[in-house]
Amino acid sequence: MLRRLDDALADLIELARPFAPRRSDHRASPLGAFDEEALPRAAPVVDVEFADVTVVLPGGRVAVDGATGAFRAGRVTAILGPSGAGKSTLLDLVVGRVPAAGAAVAGGVALNGLAPRDVSPALVGAVPQDEHSLLGWLTVRELVRFYAAIRERRERVPAGESRAAAARRRERRVALVLRELGLYGERDAYVGVAGDARRRGLSGGQRKRASVAVELVADPSVLVLDEPTSGLDASTADAVLLALKNAAARGVCVAAVLHQPSARMWRSVDDAIIFAAAGRVAYVGAAAAAAAAF
């Protein structure tokens, strides 16, 4: 672990050079079959269950009101509902975050029967709504490569693997994830800094996909995403959902807050949790049966 951390930090220091434009390769790169060594099946397989979860924020507003449901391994669960209905708050609880200072939380959230605080953070990936935490002085490939190295779990490294072989395996993983998210053509473009015209780098949609990439490449067992398709055009949003569907096919437990998903996106979703106003859950079940429930 310490050696991998040292290697990753050395890579980061080497890459911390002045920001300057770099020509990007925009040629399309076809998706390839997933490499079982580079992107293995999720292990351990993790289910997320929550029962009678209620969250009351300071001031008395109920953010989540008695929510009960589950996110299952190997499936994509969509979380829908109006703004302020508790969708993001529920995801915060899954990753062990306190929704707000002074919030009162009742009920339980469990990952394979364990409280989130008792689960290794390496098993859970989270993509927030904003992408401002990305390392803007790196290229897309360098960014994803860095996270692939620093977040790799020791138990997932093949026994006796050399440092060179590990680097090649991670590089395959990086390329696969970038291809699937439609970022391979931008692999040598700088990420840039959001809101800084001099260091603009990627577009907002590309930054969002880069945020998804750094979590997918980390090989999580659970992946939660807060509006990963918002602001994307239809074809790009479809590509993101396909990437999540492929992650689920490897056994990853995927849950994503979606805003106005298209019919095509909906076909990539297995289950749905639909919030009504004031944090109440109106539907839990198969996505295909959701329309008939209303």
Digit-coded pLDDT (tens) for 117-130: 999 999 999 998 87
> At residue 19, does pLDDT exceed 60?
no
Domain membership flag for residue 117: yes
Digit-coded pLDDT (tens) for 118-166: 999 999 999 988 766 788 889 999 999 999 998 888 777 888 888 898 8
Domain membership flag for residue 126: yes
> At residue 17, does pLDDT exceed 70?
no
> At residue 8, does pLDDT exceed 70?
no
| Count of structural domains, the chain | 1
Token readout for 294 is 């209303």
Phi, psi of 69 (to 5 degrees): 175, -165
User: What CATH number is associated with residue 216?
Assistant: 3.40.50.300
d(CA 155, CA 6): 18
Domain membership flag for residue 281: yes
The segment with the largest mean pLDDT, out of 82-86, 205-209, 212-216, is 212-216
Domain membership flag for residue 28: no
In the predicted model, what is the mean pLDDT of the chain?
A: 84
Domain membership flag for residue 26: no
Please give the model's pTM, rounded to 2 decimal places: 0.83
Residue 257 confidence (pLDDT): 96
Digit-coded pLDDT (tens) for 231-257: 889 988 998 999 999 999 999 999 999
Range of lowest pLDDT (9-13, 112-116, 201-205, 222-226): 9-13
